[in-house]
């Protein structure tokens, strides 16, 4: 509490802009107002579409700039950007040239947090790995604050934290781009092309992810995926100790998979068969989490979590079994690599529903995997032509039946109509949701609602 108050006192008498009024910035605005600060909140939403929470912030003293011109002719001493507004935006660059300090809710949290921070980033597996780390620490009796990109802002809760607690944080590339602080333990699950509709190129995306460890010191820890060429190549840049995990190579030091057993530093720790959630990618998530909690969690607690943790919503989530057909919701899969991991989780060929918003990432790697793991492919959304082309270009492959439906519900019903007892219908879009849905959670909830009506 003292640290947060001291930080906010720096802003007395200054003009503060908060850009974006999404999930993380609403409690931030309230916190700034409670500190008696001059706050202007900017959002594209028109006034007649504001919800009651934003109107209440205005009643508390926030000045609102709304509508299409909400970013024009801005001036401020301090700017808090929402993660979706990259620091490279012309409007933010103009504020920097004017001398404004640009920061974010997450960066302030890192500055004022009184306890150890353990943070996870990567292209795939972030949320599951973050949640596993949290569950393992809780099983060991630690008080844990879980949040960040996983959906819960942590700054408003920093006054509840003590030095003995642990904050477990999921971080996106958007949050990391201009971060000037790093956690005590940083985890990068893997890196593959993603969000290239926002980042200039893959190099900018990787540079953003690297901020999770570039501000560490000698006493800090970086956990890297040894099997992923991009993450493994980051080892020379590490500032602290490096812990590796691998399912392909036996490691004397680190966490690895051999003959169905996860080893840590050469000693057996956990049988793959004990892990309740399906898929080899979740074995990788467990290895990343095990490396992260080394020295913090007893082995028995790790095994307890493995046997009881049922997974995170929208991540290969079993929705129902109807007439012998299993329906799985993997709406989180917004990239080819994520869908590939989902497909490899099933022993038999599935009926796949894929397609959505185009993030301008390549789909060529997805084609052979669909041919190997899918018997019927139902495409929908803007990326449908790209996914079809990738499948048709897979040389010498056993191609699945390919169907296209413009409407999301019709795509689900078409997939269900093709299914026979014993089949699996999998929603794993390999694409973002923004062509028809606010986010992947709304897409997944819509899928589940339609499946339950079948």
DSSP one-letter string for 185-222:
EEEE----S--TTTSSSHHHHHHHHHTTTTT--TT-EE
pLDDT at 199 over 70: no
pTM: 0.79
pLDDT of residue 195: 57
pLDDT digits (tens, 9 = 90+) for 383-395: 999 999 999 999 7
Give the closest residue to 40 by CA, choosing from 86, 10, 74, 6: 74
Q: Boundaries of CATH 3.40.1190.10 in the chain?
A: 108-308
Residue bearing the bigger pLDDT, 151 or 155 = 155
Q: With bands split at pLDDT 50, 70 and 90, how would you rate the model's confidence at 24?
A: confident
**Integer Cα distance of 104 and 71 in angstroms:** 17
Q: Is the pLDDT of residue 2 over 80?
A: no
Give the dihedral sign, CA 51/52/57/60: positive
**Three-class SS of residue 270?**
strand
402-430 residue pLDDT tens: 999 999 999 999 999 999 999 999 999 99
**Secondary structure E strands in 266-420:** 267-271, 317-322, 325-329, 350-354, 374-379, 401-404
Which tokens hold the place of 1? 């509490």
302 φ, ψ to 5°?
A: -65, -45
Q: Are 180 and 215 within 8 A, CB to CB?
A: yes
Residue count (the chain): 454
Question: Which residues make up the CATH 3.90.190.20 domain(s) of the chain?
Answer: 317-453
Look at domain 2-103 and name its CATH class: alpha beta
Q: How many angstroms separate the Cα of 147 from the Cα of each of 11, 153, 170?
A: 25, 6, 7
Task: Dump pLDDT digits (tens) for 310-335.
Answer: 888 888 888 999 999 999 999 999 99
Predicted local confidence at residue 198, as pLDDT: 66
34: region left, alpha or beta (phi > 0 left; psi from -120 to 50 alpha): alpha
Long-range contacts of 267-272 (CB under 8 A, 24+ apart): 269/299, 269/302, 269/303, 270/299, 270/302, 270/303, 270/306
| Residue 224 in tokens | 């890297």
Instruction: State the average pLDDT over residues 196-225.
Output: 89
Instruction: Please tell me the distance from the alpha carbon of residue 196 to that of residue 276, in angstroms, as a whole number.
Output: 34
Q: What is the pLDDT of residue 345?
A: 86
What was the pLDDT predicted at 194?
A: 59
CATH of the domain spanning 317-453? 3.90.190.20
pLDDT at 135: 97
Cite the residue boundaries of each domain of the chain with CATH code 3.40.50.720: 2-103
Q: Beta strand 317-322 with 325-329: parallel, antiparallel or unpaired? A: antiparallel
Q: How confident is the model at residue 192 (pLDDT cuts 50, 70, 90)?
A: confident
Work out the mean pLDDT of the chain and round it to a whole number: 93
Return the CATH number of the domain spanning residue range 108-308.
Answer: 3.40.1190.10
Q: Is the pLDDT of residue 116 over 90?
A: yes
């Amino acid at each position: 509490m003292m640290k947060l108050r001291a930080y906010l006192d720096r802003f007395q008498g200054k003009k503060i802009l908060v850009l974006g009024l999404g999930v993380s910035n609403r409690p931030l605005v309230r916190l700034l107002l409670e500190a008696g600060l001059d706050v202007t909140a900017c959002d594209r939403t028109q006034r007649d579409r504001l919800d009651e929470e934003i109107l209440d912030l205005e009643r508390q003293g926030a000045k609102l700039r709304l509508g299409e011109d909400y970013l024009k002719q801005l001036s401020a001493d301090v700017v808090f950007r929402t993660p979706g507004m990259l620091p490279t935006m012309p409007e933010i660059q103009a504020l920097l040239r004017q001398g404004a300090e640009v920061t974010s809710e997450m960066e302030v949290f890192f500055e004022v947090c009184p306890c150890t921070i353990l943070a996870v980033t990567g292209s795939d597996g972030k949320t599951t790995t973050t949640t596993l780390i949290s569950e393992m620490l809780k099983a060991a009796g630690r008080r844990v604050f879980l949040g960040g990109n996983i959906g819960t802002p942590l700054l408003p809760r920093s006054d509840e934290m003590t030095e003995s607690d642990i904050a477990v944080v999921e971080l996106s590339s958007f949050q990391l781009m201009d971060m000037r602080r790093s956690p005590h333990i940083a985890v990068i699950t893997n890196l593959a092309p993603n969000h290239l509709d926002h980042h200039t190129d893959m190099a900018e995306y990787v540079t953003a992810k690297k901020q999770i460890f570039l501000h560490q010191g000698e006493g800090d820890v970086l956990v890297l995926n040894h099997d992923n060429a991009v993450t493994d190549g980051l080892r020379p840049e590490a500032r602290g100790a490096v812990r590796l995990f691998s399912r392909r190579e036996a490691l004397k030091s680190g966490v690895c998979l051999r003959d169905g057993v996860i080893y840590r530093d050469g000693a057996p720790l956990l049988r793959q068969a004990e892990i309740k959630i399906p898929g080899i990618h979740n074995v990788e998530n467990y290895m990343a989490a095990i490396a992260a909690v080394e020295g913090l969690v007893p082995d028995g607690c790790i095994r307890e979590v493995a046997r009881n943790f049922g997974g995170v919503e929208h991540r290969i989530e079993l929705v129902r079994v109807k007439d012998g057909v299993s329906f799985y919701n993997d709406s989180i899969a917004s990239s080819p690599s994520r869908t590939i991991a989902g497909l490899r989780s099933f022993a038999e060929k599935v009926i796949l529903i894929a397609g959505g918003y185009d993030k301008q990432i390549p789909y060529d790697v997805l084609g052979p995997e669909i041919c190997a793991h899918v018997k019927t492919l139902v495409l929908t959304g803007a990326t449908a032509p790209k996914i079809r082309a990738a499948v048709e270009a897979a040389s010498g492959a056993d191609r699945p039946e390919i169907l296209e439906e413009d409407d999301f519900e019709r795509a689900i019903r078409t997939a269900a109509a093709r299914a026979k007892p014993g089949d699996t219908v999998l929603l794993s879009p390999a694409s973002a949701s923004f062509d028809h849905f606010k986010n992947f959670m709304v897409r997944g909830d819509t899928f589940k609602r339609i499946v339950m009506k079948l």
